Amino acid sequence: MTAGGALAALIRSSADRRAGGPEERCELCAAPLAGDHRHLYDTGREEALCACPACSVLFADNGAGDGQYRLIPQRRRRLPPVETGPLGVPVGLAFFVPEADGTVIAHYPSPAGATRWEVDASAWRETVSRCPDLGGVVPEVEALLVNTARGLRHHWIVPVDDCFRLVALVRREWRGLSGGGRVWPAVDAFFAGLAERP
């Protein structure tokens, strides 16, 4: 999965809203969108698309077949601490997306976007055996999101569009070599917001 297209769309959308730019529209039928709308994962282009309610229902595969679009779930579930060291995480802020073929791709946000690598399959199976909830993560559209930076212990199952938003936030707020004074308060606010969302 690549976050490039979704990341670019989120950055563009955020900039347009701040500048009073054009109204956000469904990327399938061009209908105007409410601020809080659903997303579809385009398996062909490997990106998230903004979708109106009608297209969310009409085009979503939901895993039942082999359609091009998958409805991104809205589930957010906080987990007990998960040992992610064996997964090869070089930093404290990362997310892990199982793919349809059984591989798991890890990503970490950076000032240049999301860096990615393939997780060792046996390490992922071991992690799932210690945290069985991870076995229910929906391939391509949900992720394990981890924040252990600065001594924190946040572990969540989230929709992948939350992960794309986090990548955009880090890219927007990062300053200098260490991130500066804005990025970590913004990341903290992002995780606090996960806890408040339904």
| Residue range 131-140: mean pLDDT, rounded | 94
Residues 36, 179, 93, 190: is their CA dihedral positive or negative?
A: negative
d(CA 96, CA 99): 10
d(CA 108, CA 69): 25
Helix axes 160-173 and 4-18, enclosed angle (nearest 10)? 60
What three-state secondary structure class fits 191? helix
Q: What is the pLDDT of residues 8-31, one digit of tens each?
A: 454 444 444 444 456 889 999 999
Count H helices and E strands in the chain, helices first.
5, 9
Contact 100, 140 (CB under 8 A): yes
Least confident of 6-20, 126-140, 144-158, 167-181: 6-20
What three-state secondary structure class fits 29? coil
* pLDDT score of 177: 79
Q: What is the pLDDT of residues 75-122, one digit of tens each?
A: 999 999 998 888 987 788 999 999 989 999 999 888 888 888 999 999
- Could you tell me what percentage of the chain is helix, strand and coil, using 3-state DSSP and rounding each to the nearest 5? 35, 25, 40
**pTM, rounded to two decimals:** 0.82
Provide DSSP, 59-105.
HB-TTSS--SEEEPP---EE-S----GGGT-SSSEEEEEE-TTS-EE
